[in-house]
Amino acid sequence: MTAIPGPPTEESPYDPVDLTPCFNNTGISPASDTGRGSFNVWGNSFPAESLPSGRAPVTVDGVPFRFPPVGRGNDNVRCAGQFVPVETGRFDWLHLLAAAERRTEDTMAMHFEDGTVDPEWIRVSDFWAAPARFGETKAFETPVMHYPHHVQQGVSALLWAQRVPVTRRADLKGFRLPRNVALHIFAATLQQTAVVASEHSHAQ
């Protein structure tokens, strides 16, 4: 694995996950070369000018992410069943910056050190001028959409902040993304399990 060097600090309960080895799609393009991006089957893409710069630290809802590289090739994971190993640890949430070609929901698999595996739902709304159908936070909304041959005014592209629970109280060692080409992951951060000060107790 996988943790990206640099911020956040040691005190941070968040561990950014390096998805770079899985990047297989270019979903962001510059206005000068809109044809470089191909997020969906129509060749549309997010406008780079309306998003953070490549590798920039960004925070959404208090969760830190490392934005993917922009303008240097692939910048997101089009889900195709990739397995992402992580540094073993206890986590409550997998936070994602994600977008979808039409709203979609699927299952991913959480793999634990003790050999157990849990499927969990991952739900992401449409990137195309749509509301947050699954209650996500709108991380970035662009004022334009990139088409293969032009910049389209009046159509927004949406990048969502979504989260997937890690329900098992066991050490996570990795997760497998669904085989679902509609689903794209741009960044991921694991949130560590909060340390509980008191022991379990019950009334006598």
- From residue 89, give the alpha-carbon distance in Å to each of 42, 92, 172: 40, 10, 5
Site for another protein (CB under 8 A): which residue of 91, 96, 108, 126?
126
Please give the full DSSP string across 154-193, using - where no structure is assigned: T--BEEEEEEEE--SSS-EEEEE--EEEEEEEEEEEEEEP
| Residue 135 interacting with another protein (CB under 8 A) | no
| Choice from 70, 98, 164, 182 touching another protein (CB under 8 A) | 182
Based on the shown chain and the rule CB under 8 A, indicate whether residue 150 belongs to the binding site for another protein: yes
Asked if 35 is part of the footprint of another protein (rule: CB under 8 A), the reply reads no
Tokens, residue 23? 């990047």
Applying CB under 8 A, does 118 fall inside the site for another protein? no
What is the smallest separation between the CB atom of 37 and another protein, expressed in angstroms? 15
Q: Rule CB under 8 A: say whether 58 interacts with another protein.
A: no
Phi-psi region of 33 (alpha: psi -120 to 50; beta: other; left: phi over 0): beta
109 interacts with another protein by CB under 8 A: no
Per DSSP bridges, beta strands 104-112 and 91-100 are unpaired
Among 1, 21, 83, 102, binds another protein (CB under 8 A): 102
C-alpha separations of 180 from 44, 55, 131, 139 in Å: 18, 25, 21, 22
User: Which of 36, 90, 103, 176 is the binder for another protein (CB under 8 A)?
Assistant: 103
Q: Determine the interface stretch with another protein among 1-9, 54-62, 173-181, 185-193 (rule: CB under 8 A).
A: 173-181
User: Which two three-digit tokens encode residue 61?
Assistant: 């809802």
**How many residues are given for the chain?**
204
Site residues for another protein per CB under 8 A:
41-43, 100-106, 123, 125-126, 128-131, 133, 145, 147-150, 152-155, 179-182
